[in-house]
Amino acid sequence: MITDPRVFRDDHLPRELKHREAEIEDLSHALDPALAGRPAADVLLAGPSGVGKTALARHTLGKLDQFATVAHTHIQCLGESTTDVLQAALDDLPGHSATDAASVDDLRVALREAVDQPAILVLDEADSLPETDVLDVLDDVPLVSFIAVVHDPQRWLSRAPDAVRRAVSGPIQLGRYGVDELSSILRARANVGLRPSVVSDDQLRGIADEVAGVARSGIQVLRAAAEVASERGHARIHDTDIEDAYERAQHRIRRSKLYSLTFHHHVLYGLVHEAGEVPAGELHDRYDAVGEQMYYGRERTPVGRRSRRNKLRKLVEYELVEAVGDSKSRVYRVVDESVTPSLDSGMCVESVESDDAGNTTSF
DNA sequence: TATCCACCGGAATTTATGGAAG
DNA sequence: CTTCCATAAATTCCGGTGGATA
């Protein structure tokens, strides 16, 4: 059924990016100066999960390569520290002799020395950059510019250094795809990655509609549907295969997000999952009650309430937990009951599995 | 309505960790 | 080995918000 698995991977970049012409144009425009040896503009690229922010950046940089060689590199910022990010930039950009074990200041200096041509960094998942040190340094290296890929541009801007806030252009805002748009994208993937005529246009429209225009989800559903159909010995994809595929795909995506988080997050997720829906105060009480034994025998110890709020916020960002209401009336609940916690308040069995979907689970 | 209380989240501060210098 | 320093994580402090209660 699946003839080319590559086209269903998260990191697959199709030759043509459909329905993003205007955004490609905007981004190209911002990068234009680099073609003439001048620094490109810093750009903010915003939009919800899975609608092609990263693909847009990669695609546009690829186009740039056709006209001139402009150094660029892609950096995954999620969970990385300031030095990790800067070190990655230094390693991937041309023209530097390997330096390691460097402080932020050393890296700043090294970058200034190494870069003598315009260079562009794609800062993926830049929401999670630990504070603004990275941006301060980049602001200090004139030839280096960045494309910051974020979910919430207002929040990002409010935390950015003043100089960056003034200079950055955009945000280029990507929305969810319409049903027509996404089904044509899915059709293109099916044509390349699946045997001919195994899925109908109506079925693709159904998928596009159900995933609410989130391309990543749509593509994973299509892939899972083909897998399910194969497992059942179907020659074509049946509607029932798609129904079951939806579960499988969403479940996979969510589960790998959960696994990428720390033990603290797992404890809190487990408590919310167990309760179904729980007011903030009660959640904290439960944490206090079972915390000691949950953490027993681990290198980590229970955290205070303020830190828990940060963990919970992360769970909300990852769309694993929903927070309804503000302040006093805040209630937490899990988004998908079927994503079961890796531990419960009794035993602490944690099985760490790799993401078998072959995806870099970003969000 | 006025007041209180619990929670949220920004900012400042403290603590823990790892790596380099002496 | 000890000291010093940088960084990340956690905590403390606190103003803001909005239900609950008198």
Q: Are A323 and A330 in contact (CB under 8 A)?
A: yes
Average pLDDT over residues A251-264: 87
Max mean pLDDT among A35-49, A105-119, A348-362 falls in A35-49
A327 touches strand C (CB under 7 A): yes
Q: A315, A260, A353, A248: which is closest to A8 by C-alpha?
A: A248
Global pTM value: 0.72
Q: How confident is the model at residue A73 (pLDDT cuts 50, 70, 90)?
A: confident
The structure tokens 């995806």 sit at A359
Any idea which nucleotide's C1' is nearest the CA of A81? C8
Separation of alpha carbons A233 and A305, rounded Å: 52
Angle A102-A108-A109 from CA coordinates, rounded to 5°:
90
Query: Residue A98: pLDDT above 70?
Result: no
Any idea which nucleotide's C1' is nearest the CA of A159? B10
Measure A306 CA to C14 C1' (Å): 13
Query: Residue A51: pLDDT above 70?
Result: yes
Q: Which residue has its C-alpha nearest to nucleotide B6's C1'?
A: A328
Tell me what percent of the residues of chain A surpass a pLDDT of 70. 87
Report how far apart, in Å, the C-alpha atoms of A10 and of each of A52, A55, A219, A253, A342 are.
Answer: 10, 9, 9, 11, 25
Q: A98 is written with which tokens?
A: 């390997």
Separation of alpha carbons A361 and A363, rounded Å: 7
Q: A201, A206, A207, A202: which is closest to A223 by C-alpha?
A: A207
Q: How many Cβ atoms from other residues are within 10 Å of residue A36's Cβ?
A: 8
Measure A70 CA to C6 C1' (Å): 33
State residue A354's pLDDT score: 39
Average pLDDT over residues A82-103: 67
Average pLDDT over residues A243-249: 90
Chain A residues 99 to 158 with C-beta below 7 Å from nucleic strand C: 103-105, 130, 133
Chain A residues 259 to 288 with C-beta below 7 Å from nucleic strand C: 262, 264
A84 touches strand C (CB under 7 A): yes
Mean pLDDT score across all residues of chain A: 83
State residue A291's pLDDT score: 79
Average pLDDT over residues A127-141: 70
Average pLDDT over residues A158-181: 81
Alpha helices, H only, chain A:
21-31, 53-67, 82-92, 104-114, 133-139, 153-159, 162-167, 179-193, 201-210, 215-231, 239-259, 263-275, 280-295, 305-317
Average pLDDT over residues A111-129: 78
Average pLDDT over residues A68-74: 82
Measure A23 CA to C8 C1' (Å): 36
State residue A130's pLDDT score: 55
Measure A241 CA to B9 C1' (Å): 44
Q: How confident is the model at residue A96 (pLDDT cuts 50, 70, 90)?
A: low
Q: How confident is the model at residue A132 (pLDDT cuts 50, 70, 90)?
A: low
Strand pairing report for A277-279 and A331-334: antiparallel
- Top-confidence residue, A31 or A348: A31
Q: How confident is the model at residue A361 (pLDDT cuts 50, 70, 90)?
A: very low
Measure A91 CA to C17 C1' (Å): 46
Q: How confident is the model at residue A280 (pLDDT cuts 50, 70, 90)?
A: very high
Query: Residue A352: pLDDT above 50?
Result: no
Q: Which residue has its C-alpha nearest to nucleotide B20's C1'?
A: A101
State residue A79's pLDDT score: 61
Q: Which residues touch strand B (CB under 7 A)?
A: A 101, 155, 159, 279-281, 284, 305-306, 309, 312-313, 323, 326-328, 330
Q: Are A56 and A124 in contact (CB under 8 A)?
A: no
The structure tokens 């590199």 sit at A73
List the nucleotides on chain C closer than 7 A to a protein CB: 6-13, 16-20
Report how far apart, in Å, the C-alpha atoms of A236 and of each of A6, A219, A223, A230 are.
Answer: 20, 17, 13, 9
Measure A102 CA to B22 C1' (Å): 19
Q: How confident is the model at residue A41 (pLDDT cuts 50, 70, 90)?
A: confident
Measure A197 CA to B1 C1' (Å): 70
A307 touches strand C (CB under 7 A): yes
State residue A97's pLDDT score: 53
State residue A154's pLDDT score: 77
Q: How confident is the model at residue A136 (pLDDT cuts 50, 70, 90)?
A: confident
Q: How many Cβ atoms from other residues are within 10 Å of residue A105's Cβ?
A: 9
Q: Which residue has its C-alpha nearest to nucleotide B8's C1'?
A: A327
Each residue of A204-220: pLDDT tens digit? 999 999 999 999 999 99
A304 touches strand C (CB under 7 A): yes
Around A130, how many Cα atoms within 13 Å sit in the side-chain half-sphere?
Answer: 9
